[in-house]
Amino acid sequence: MALPLVSRGKDAQAGACCAPIARQPLSEGDATELAVLLKAVADPVRLRLLSMIGSHAGGEACVCDLTDAFELTAPTISHHLKVLRTAGLIDGERRGTWVYYWIVPETVNRLGALFAR
Amino acid sequence: MALPLVSRGKDAQAGACCAPIARQPLSEGDATELAVLLKAVADPVRLRLLSMIGSHAGGEACVCDLTDAFELTAPTISHHLKVLRTAGLIDGERRGTWVYYWIVPETVNRLGALFAR
């Protein structure tokens, strides 16, 4: 029988981890994983990108909707989008000329749960 | 009349900022400020310290309660506590031999509100 090797990561992303930070000590493993996620959002440009994608009409935004707000080159914006995507905070797909991005709510909720009262 | 120069920072800490990240674009100023706060928690040791302080009996922990969980020197733990304190995530006071720390709920709530659904 094949082991479901993929499911552990998916479970973790789905918010199985963790109790609110003020309620229960974090394990070393969970803390390491959450620190990676927090590093991905601990940047002003990436925070703004995340909020622009999440609040865009229809819940998704084209790269073409995002670049005008920044005095940054397209490759720099692409780099920040890649960091968010690698962390599982956004996902995206190409449609014709442009790539469209949307927020992955499970990952954002995980941070919300961590800092919940 | 003296201007209330201090109150702006306090208001911000009390959670005046910001709407959930998936609901409204963040301003450049708010994003910069939140990135500083997120950098302070984007570290496994600091996440664990924060969770240990918050979940400790009575809602506060002595440095003596915290060091045993880590294979780190006392100065390293002190450095991480200082980063958390500078960011306004914890506060503390000396009582006799030890410094006691507690979580500042307003600052943690601010992160909770940012990543709320």
- In a domain, residue A61? The reply is yes
- Check residue B117 and give its pLDDT: 78
B26, amino acid identity: L
Chain B partners within 8 Å of A69 (Cβ): 25
State the alpha helices, DSSP H only, in chain B.
Answer: 7-11, 28-41, 44-55, 63-66, 74-86, 105-114
The domain containing residue A39 runs over which residues?
A: 20-115
**In angstroms, how far is CA A61 from the centroid of its own chain?**
14
B36-54: per-residue pLDDT in tens?
Answer: 999 999 999 999 999 999 9
Q: For residue B71, is it within any domain? A: yes
Q: Is B105 on the interface with A (CB under 8 A)?
A: yes
Number of helices (H) and strands (E) in chain A: give both, helices first.
6, 3
Provide the domain count of chain B: 1
ipTM comes to 0.84
Q: Is residue B95 part of a domain?
A: yes
CB contact under 8 A, A117 and B112: yes
Question: What is the CATH number for A100?
Answer: 1.10.10.10
**Band of residue A6 on the pLDDT scale cut at 50, 70, 90:** very low
Residue A45 burial (CB count, 10 A): 21
In a domain, B3, yes or no: no
Give a yes or no: residue A101 inside a domain.
yes
Q: Residue A16's pLDDT is what?
A: 55
Residue B21 · residue B114 · CB < 8 Å = yes
Position B93 in a domain = yes
Q: Could you tell me if residue A31 is inside a domain?
A: yes
Say if A81 falls within a structural domain.
yes
Q: Could you give phi then psi for residue B5, rounded to 5 degrees?
A: -65, -25
Q: Which chain A residues are Cβ-neighbours of B49 within 8 angstroms?
A: none
Give the other-Cβ count within 10 Å of A82's Cβ.
12
User: Mutating which of B32, B33, B37, B48 best tests the A interface, going by the most A Cβ atoms within 10 A?
Assistant: B48
Residue B47 sits at the chain A interface (C-beta within 8 Å): yes
Contact A43 B50 (CB under 8 A): no
